[in-house]
């Protein structure tokens, strides 16, 4: 291994890969999570159903056929992409309200049909 390759390997080992994150917005005094095709599991399609549970600093999204909420669609040049938006008082209470225009990156863990967004 050359000195350059060794330096690159050492740098990769020293800097851990950042966890996946989603953006938590503040808009008109309310918190908002906007998830698109990039953040959603690959199996999620427009029209799919999901349930969400909001607790102190944690948002859990579970996709199921009997979910109360619906994944919406966004028209793109390639067809339709899934879009999921969660906002409101419960989310604001759980994550705290920041001034408008503030974007916070919050870690997300995806496990099959469940997403957990937590600080």
SS3 letters across the chain: CCHHHHHHHHHHHHCCCCCCEEEEEEECCEEEEEECCCCCCCCCCCCCEEEEEEECCEEEEEECCCCCEECEEEEECCEEEEEEEEECHHHHHHHCCCCCCCEEEEEEEEECCEEEEEC
pLDDT digits (tens, 9 = 90+) for 82-110: 999 999 899 999 998 888 888 899 999 99
Note the pTM of the prediction, 2 decimals. Answer: 0.78
Asked whether residue 80 is assigned to any structural domain, the reply reads yes
Full residue range of the structural domain in which residue 57 is found: 19-118
Q: Domain tally for the chain?
A: 1
49 in Cβ contact with 67 (< 8 Å): yes
pLDDT digits (tens, 9 = 90+) for 12-37: 444 344 468 899 998 888 899 999 99
Asked whether residue 4 is assigned to any structural domain, the reply reads no
Asked whether residue 9 is assigned to any structural domain, the reply reads no
């Amino acid at each position: 291994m050359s000195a350059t390759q060794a330096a690159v390997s050492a740098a990769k080992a020293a800097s851990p890969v950042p966890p996946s994150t989603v953006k938590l917005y503040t808009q008109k005094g309310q918190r908002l999570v906007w998830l698109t095709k990039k953040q959603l599991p690959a199996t999620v399609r427009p029209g799919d159903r999901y349930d969400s549970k909001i607790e102190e600093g944690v948002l859990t999204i579970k996709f199921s056929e009997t979910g109360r909420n619906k994944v919406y669609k966004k028209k793109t040049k390639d067809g339709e992409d899934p879009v999921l938006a969660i906002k409101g008082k419960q989310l604001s209470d759980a994550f705290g309200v920041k001034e408008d225009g503030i974007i916070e990156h919050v870690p997300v863990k995806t496990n099959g049909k469940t997403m957990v967004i937590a600080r």
